[in-house]
Amino acid sequence: MAREFDNSGSQYLKIDQAAMESYPLTMACWFNMPTMAHTHGLVWVGDKDYTYKYQGMYLHAGTVQAYSRCLSIGIASATSAAAVDEWHHGCAVFTNATLRAAFLDGGSKGTDTTSVAVPAGFDRTALGVFGDSSPSAFAEGMLAEAAVWNVALTDAEVAVLAAGYCPLFVRSQNLVAYWPLIRDRDIDIVGGYDLTAYGSPTIAAHCPIMRPIAPQVIIPHAAAGSNIPVIMQHYKKMRVA
C-alpha cells in the first residue's frame, strides 16, 4: 500500500532533520497523480525556517524537475511529461553546485548548469510538499518507494530504479534514507529518518516493486564492493504484505 495525499487537506509527511545537505545528492520516488493541473511536491530537503534554501524534486505540469535554491535558483526539467493515473518513476540528481539532472521513468534526462551555492543549515526532510517556512506544492495523488543517496547516481543506476528495483539494490552503501511507504508505516528503514504524517494522508495500492527475497543460502564471504551485507542489514526491517 502506498501513501495517498489530498492537496486540499494540506497532507504531507515530514521530519525536522535533514537526510542530506551538501552535494552530491540523489532523490527518487514513484508517483501516480490524477491531475497535472498544479505542482506536486515529491521529495524535499531544506531549511524549515527559510524559503530559499533547499534541494527538491517536484512535478510541474507533468514534468519532473530537480530544483536547487540557495540564493540563486537552478532547475533541471525532464524532457517528457508523465501521464495521469499511471505509476511513474521520478529521480533528481544533484552532482555539484553547477550540475543537476531530472529523469522520468529512467530516461527523458534534462540538465541544468546554473551555479547554486552549496547549501547549509538544512533541518527538514519532507515528502508530498515543499516543506520550507511557507509550505507549498502539496501533492495530489500517490507516492511510494522514496529514497535519498549521498552520491550522484549514474544514468544506468537511475534506469535500474525505474525498471522496478527497490532502492536497496542500487548503491545501497550510499543510501541514507529509504521510505517504502507501505500502508501508514512512514518509517525510514535505512537512516532512521521516520516521518510524521500531517493532514491525515490515506493509503492506496502500492506500485509493483522487486525487493530482496529472504536468504535461502549462507553466504560465507561477500566479494569486495558487494552490496550484499548492506542489503541484508536492512532486509529484516522490510515488511511487505
The pLDDT assigned to 51 comes to 79
Identify the CATH number of the domain in which residue 204 sits. 2.60.120.200
Residue 61 DSSP one-character state: T
Residue 95 lies in a domain: yes
Per-residue pLDDT of 92-104, as tens digits, reads 999 999 999 999 9
Residue 241 lies in a domain: no
Query: Do residues 65 and 102 make contact, with C-beta atoms less than 8 angstroms apart?
Result: yes
The most confident of the ranges 17-26, 56-65, 221-230 is: 56-65
The pLDDT assigned to 219 comes to 44
Whether the predicted pLDDT of 235 surpasses 80? no
The pLDDT assigned to 215 comes to 53
Structural domain tally of the chain?
Answer: 1
Rounded to an integer, the average pLDDT of 22-45 is 95
Residue 92 lies in a domain: yes
The pLDDT assigned to 133 comes to 83
First to last CA, the chain: 8
Q: Which residue has the higher pLDDT, 213 or 70?
A: 70
Residue 86 lies in a domain: yes
What residues form DSSP beta bridges with 112? 100
Residue 101 lies in a domain: yes
Residue 240 lies in a domain: no
- Whole-angstrom distance, CA of residue 241 vs CA of residue 227: 25
The pLDDT assigned to 144 comes to 97
The most confident of the ranges 106-110, 183-187, 222-226 is: 106-110
Residue 178 lies in a domain: yes
Per-residue pLDDT of 148-181, as tens digits, reads 999 999 999 999 999 999 999 999 999 999 999 9
Residue 208 DSSP one-character state: P
Query: Do residues 50 and 130 make contact, with C-beta atoms less than 8 angstroms apart?
Result: no
- Cβ burial 18-37 (10 Å sphere, 16+ → b, else e): bbbbebbbbbbbbbbbeebe
Residue 110 lies in a domain: yes
Q: Given the DSSP bridges, would you call strands 25-32 and 141-149 parallel, antiparallel or unpaired?
A: antiparallel
Confidence of residue 214 (pLDDT cuts 50, 70, 90): low
Domain range enclosing 57: 2-235
Whether the predicted pLDDT of 48 surpasses 50? yes
